[in-house]
Structure 1
Amino acid sequence: LHGCSAVTYKLSKDNTTCLIVETTATASVSYTNSNRQKLVATWPLGEAAAISGQCESETKGQASLNLTFADYWVHMSFASSGGKASLAGIELFVTVQNGSRFLSPNSTGGLLLTASPKLPLSADTEHFACASELRLPFGQPGGSALVLSATKIQAFGVRNGSLSAKFATCALDARSSVPSDSTTAPSNTTAAPSDTTTAPSDTTAAPSNTTAAPSDTTAAPSDTTAAPSDSTTASTDTAAPTNGTSTAAPPTSAVPTTASPEPPLLNVTVFNSARVPCLRLQLRASLSILYRLKSGGNATVKVALPADTKASGDCGNSSQTVQLSFMQGWRSDLIFVKKASGYALQHLAADYRLSPALFPNAAEPNANRSAFGNGTYFSVASGTAYYSCRSAETLRLDNFVTMETRDLRAQAFRTDNSSAEFAGSMEQCLDDTPIDNVVPIVVGAALAGLVIIVLIAYLIGRRRHSAGSGYQSV
């Protein structure tokens, strides 16, 4: 690691750098080959990454960095509390397949590794510096891990597109006589006090939620209806859908608008190595993407997932993934995570390209972009039930991207070999839940009856009053 030069990843929004990670990083993933031998695949994180994420201005107290490479991606989430930053979580998603990286793996498919190191970094106004090796394990020490060295991180308080002059060193560096970065800092700069630093090691970074290696899988989309693949809708003056609170500035020029057809119904089945379906998914889906115009404004494009969408996936024990590939270089991933009881759609990812045909007048034509979403989009309480939502749903990712779904049905972690598309009981979304009209009808009928009774009593009382007055009309 120390022989390689550090790579700098900068996240920028509106041409302003808001997050900087400079490091020499290596990913290590343990796996079993076809001879049942335990091996570890190791590779360095390169420079050719599509960078996306969230700045602190979008989600107060939180920031994230997404690095998307050809067949894997890395996600880092940061948190700020009491003016001090920490590395809250890391995720690594890689496609396990036979090749130069994985030699005859026993199982193939997508593999998601997650950890929550909760690693203290520095004050928000400083950057974190650690020349020593930081090993952030996924699961047990010695197995899969993300290893960082010659690291500098600032997720909050970035000014003028560069790291702050003040920095806090990690405890491993502080033990040495001369911290590696002390010569580059101004003379009045000192390392942060010990309560703002940490001693990261195999035992201090607390990992969690490591997923098991997936089984051999195949997947095939089927029963789809025809629809044009390049149909889009471009509109101006649209607020950016985002997980944060900020919105993009309105555009300054008009963008032509075309009608978007109803997305076709996609049917996907993912099988395990025994050809038993572990995951079924049915939906109509489209991606709504806000992008910057050359004029400085914004426009939104809505792209429907076409009928010729290709599907693949994996049948892991802790997480199961569906990958939907369409057009040229576009991809959308849906990752289901197993819970103590039931399961949930927990992660979304989207890769797309700002092609001039789909994104007219884009400020960065043909640029590759990625978006990620983390959180519980929907959950199923029972492990044998399936989720259904005929109504329109909006699933938000970062980078001003949303996935809009309709006629959605999903069932993950299936173990039965039933021929039924979806087995077990159905759990509906709130918008599909039928409204019980019995109570309003009963209340309305009671009120109507009360009005009639009052009216009859009034007429009877008036008649008696007229009869007892002693006068008769002539």
Structure 2
Amino acid sequence: METRRSLFGRLLGPLCCGLLLFILMLLDGSASSEMYAVDVELKDASNITCLYAKWMMNFSITYESNISEYKNKAFMLPENVRYDGSSCNGTNGPLLAIEFGEGHFWSINFAKTDDTYQGNITFIYNTNDAELFPDAKRKGLITASAKYPLHPIQLHTVFSCHHVDSVKAGNVTNDFWNITLQAFLQNGSLSTAYTYCDKDIVATTAENAVSVPTATTTEPTTAATVTTTTVPTTTTTTTIPTTSSTVCTTTTTTAAASVKTTLSPTPPPTAKTEEKPMTGNYSVNVGTTVCLLASMGLQLNVSKEQVPLIINIQPNTTVVTGNCGKRSADLRLNDRNSTIIDFFFAVKNTSSEKFYLKGVNVTVIRPANGSLYAANNSLSYWDASLGSSYMCKKEETLVVTKGYRIKTFDLRVQPFDVKENKYSTAEDCSPEVDHFFVPIILGAALAGLVCLIFLAFFIGRQKHHSAGYEQL
């Protein structure tokens, strides 16, 4: 007999489904792959350009939480920024100043010698920003500074760097890529001579098998010409008074990550098949002592594209860097300067202290189709006791964000308490019984059930025939 549901009962299911979908949409909003570019041409009162700057960048900041746990916050330059402090001051050199968010200030001030120019970065970030640092133990403004580019650039040349160029200052890591930069332009015109970063030179050398000096300034050839196609942009012009009674006009263009650039260095790898990646052995040292060990095969899967992107990390072309602390550690794997994966480890504050994988950042540099970026600092993978290592021989999948997944193979990792440069006793993700005994037990149980069914059938027939004889 069929019963009729009440109106509330019939509406409850669709309402719950709708609420679930809404929550999933909100959660998906935390995953972002869109990045915004710095694209600035700084002009003085005479409308002469003193600085041309164009690049992509993101930030990674380590901070201490109010429970004495070190966390990592990775974020991109937001869409809405202010350039109010920028100027073409002839005494101190061009100054590009960027203000964003809740009291964050980033600037680069250029100075020159007779032959070179170089910038000095000042980054002041505000840990009172509840969105970025909701549980920061130290509240207020924190300053980090560094020089950039890393080496002085030949005067009257454009500095160009397609690959990721990282600057570390204190607890801040600042990543740049797709860079076109020149300060102190002659007559306000962009130079036709280029100085390339070391990573671009190494990539071009490897591709063409030609020995190239580490600092090269050349007239551009056809292979090295930069051609840029930018998606629709929003352009604003701000007039800024300077201390020298001149007016500095800043033209700001905000562009999405689909900026397309054609350059000569090696294109990023794209794997078309899901073949198992090679297992790499990675380590981080403090002096001559190993403080972090990792061994794994890594495959990055990006499904947000029209054609899913599959990249196998190649150990023989991967550069390993990282940091070790008592309660936090990080491992950066940079494959051919086009795919970067950051792993962030932390110690849980429990009675039996354990470490775990807390966060992952993924950066894929693809000039032809737009760069990709994803970050998640609220993960909980690879739990193991301090003083042990975590091991998982079977394939595992790390869900970074919706559309970004990392598959690991033959994994073993120990980010803390490494002794004598060797792994400690491993805690396995699943005992071997899962691989062998469980299928055997299930098969035996199924076979036993079939036998019981046949036995019951034959016993039932036997009793049926016996009852028939007794009736006769």
Q: TM-score category by the smaller chain?
A: 0.3 to 0.5
More helix per residue: 2
- Structure-1-length-normalised TM-score: 0.42
- Structure-2-length-normalised TM-score: 0.42
